[in-house]
Amino acid sequence: RSLADVRLPQGGELQALSLEAGAGLVELKIHFKFVKQLHLDTPWLQDLRLLGCKGLFEEDFTSVIRGCPRLKVLSLTHCADLKEIDFSQLLVPSLEEFDLSGLSRASKLETLRLESPHLVKLLLPAWLWVEGYGLRQLMLSCPELSRLDLGTLRWGDLQELRLIVPALADLKPPQSATLASFSERAGPRLTVCVSSACLELLDLEGADRLAQ
């Protein structure tokens, strides 16, 4: 009989988990205060929610995601030690929703790369406007994404912005003044590579001078 339900203690001292499951397990919620080892071999899992997970770094996180090739919904809460999330090379080809809004204020996340052909919902961390924190690089290749809120980002923090989102119809730009006001100060430090349609949605005078 295939494993269909896993209930893990919340707020306990569990620090390591190795889980293999078949078609019966489609949803999984994991809460670690601190994680030393996390291994998932769950090829039919569709919904994964990770909470806490201090000590989870990029290499281990990527390995976890590789064990969930049919993942459609991914949510991260706290996960303070992730500095980079790289879902390029179609690492998560079925992903439809990615929720980062619950990341900790202590999060070190600076780089987000998503190549997700079916992504329709992306929620960025809500604290990125705090001085000293924030994404430096945001690269999205998401042809079905129609709405994107960059309002928690700031032009002054960004070093690279690349958007390949042909279906985008609603785009909220990063905070602070227009991109043009940063052109002299940021100069070559900021790379903007977006479509002309995205530039119109951003409504930024002088953006073409920085676009590549």
Which tens digit of pLDDT belongs to each residue from 1-24? 456 666 666 656 788 999 999 888
The confidence score (pLDDT) of residue 175 equals: 74
Averaged pLDDT of the chain? 83
Which tens digit of pLDDT belongs to each residue from 21-54? 988 899 999 999 999 999 999 999 999 999 999 9
Domain boundary among 127, 151, 179: 127
Residue 53 CA to residue 33 CA, distance in Å, equals 6
Residue 102 CA to residue 82 CA, distance in Å, equals 13
142 burial type by CB count under 10 A (0-12 exposed, 13-18 middle, 19+ buried): buried
Domain boundary among 101, 127, 153: 127
Q: 169 CB contacts (<8 Å, ≥6 apart)?
A: 146, 147
The answer to whether position 2 is within a domain reads no
Domain boundary among 127, 143, 175: 127
Which of the residue ranges 73-77, 120-124, 157-161 would you say has the lowest mean pLDDT? 157-161
Q: 7 CB contacts (<8 Å, ≥6 apart)?
A: none
Give 92's Cβ-side CA count (13 Å radius): 30
Put the strands of the sheet holding 47-54 in their side by side order.
27-34, 47-54, 73-78, 97-103, 121-123
State the pairing for strand pair 137-141/73-78: unpaired
Q: φ and ψ at 31, to 5 degrees?
A: -125, 110
* Domain region containing 187: 135-211
Domain identity same for 185 and 93: no
DSSP 64-82: HHHT-TT--EEEEEE-TT-
The answer to whether position 41 is within a domain reads yes
Residue 203 CA to residue 172 CA, distance in Å, equals 10
The answer to whether position 1 is within a domain reads no
14 burial type by CB count under 10 A (0-12 exposed, 13-18 middle, 19+ buried): middle
